[in-house]
């Protein structure tokens, strides 16, 4: 929980910097990854039943305390987001080759914007 809150604080710090989206009066859209961990993030619909177009429309798949916080931040700060489950189910770990896996790896590789 502490790691996720730290990432939210870092996100808000970075969000305060001027972006191209802000210059164009357009809400930036962030790609966010998470793992299921009740009561913080719970699945209300099986993501595998949706096609790519439905996922892009951000059909509500998740609920929980962190999702509620994310919705409040999105509304107050002014951004949009697409959320998905981390592919390997891990928070973050470096393998023997030094390559990061999990949510940390997805942020490091630029696959997602925030976890």
Question: Mind listing the pLDDT tens digit for each residue in 39-90?
Answer: 998 888 776 666 655 555 556 788 899 999 999 999 999 988 888 888 888 8
Q: Structural domain of residue 96, as residue ranges?
A: 2-109
What pLDDT, on the 0 to 100 scale, is given for residue 68?
92
Outline where DSSP puts E strands in 8-111.
Answer: 29-34, 42-43, 62-63, 80-85, 93-94, 100-101
- Token readout for 56 is 């892009």
Residue 114 lies in a domain: no
Domain count for the chain, please give it: 1
Instruction: Note whether residue 100 is domain-resident.
Output: yes
Which residue is it, tokens 């710090």? 13
CATH number of domain containing 86 = 3.40.190.10
**Confidence (pLDDT) at 57:** 52
Whether 115 is covered by a domain: the verdict is no
Measured N-to-C along each axis, helices 65-73 and 2-15 cross at an angle, to the nearest 10 degrees, of 10
Residue 79, domain member (yes or no): yes
Q: Is the pLDDT of residue 115 over 70?
A: no
């Amino acid at each position: 929980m502490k790691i996720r809150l730290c990432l939210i604080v870092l996100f808000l710090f970075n969000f305060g910097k001027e972006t191209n989206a802000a210059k164009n009066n357009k809400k930036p859209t962030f790609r966010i990854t998470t793992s299921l961990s009740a009561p913080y993030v719970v699945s209300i619909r099986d993501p595998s039943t949706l096609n790519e177009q439905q996922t892009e429309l951000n059909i509500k798949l998740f609920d929980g305390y962190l999702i509620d916080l994310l919705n409040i931040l999105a509304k107050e700060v002014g951004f949009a987001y697409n959320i998905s489950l981390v592919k390997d189910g891990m928070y973050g770990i470096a393998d023997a080759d030094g390559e990061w896996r999990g949510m940390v790896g997805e942020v490091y590789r630029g696959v997602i914007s925030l976890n």
